[in-house]
Amino acid sequence: MIDRIDHLVLTVRSIEATCDFYTRCLDFERVDTANGPTALRFGEQKINVHQSDRTFEPKARRPTEGSADLCLVASVPLTDVLDRLDQHQVAIELGPVERQGALGAMESIYFRDPDDNLVEVSRYHDESSNVLTRPSDRAGRS
- Among all residues, which ones are annotated catalytic? 120
Asked whether the beta carbons of 125 and 104 are under 8 A apart, the reply is yes
- The side-by-side arrangement of strands in the sheet containing 92-101 is 69-73, 118-124, 104-112, 92-101
Residue 108 host element (H or E): strand 104-112
Separation of alpha carbons 56 and 128, rounded Å: 37
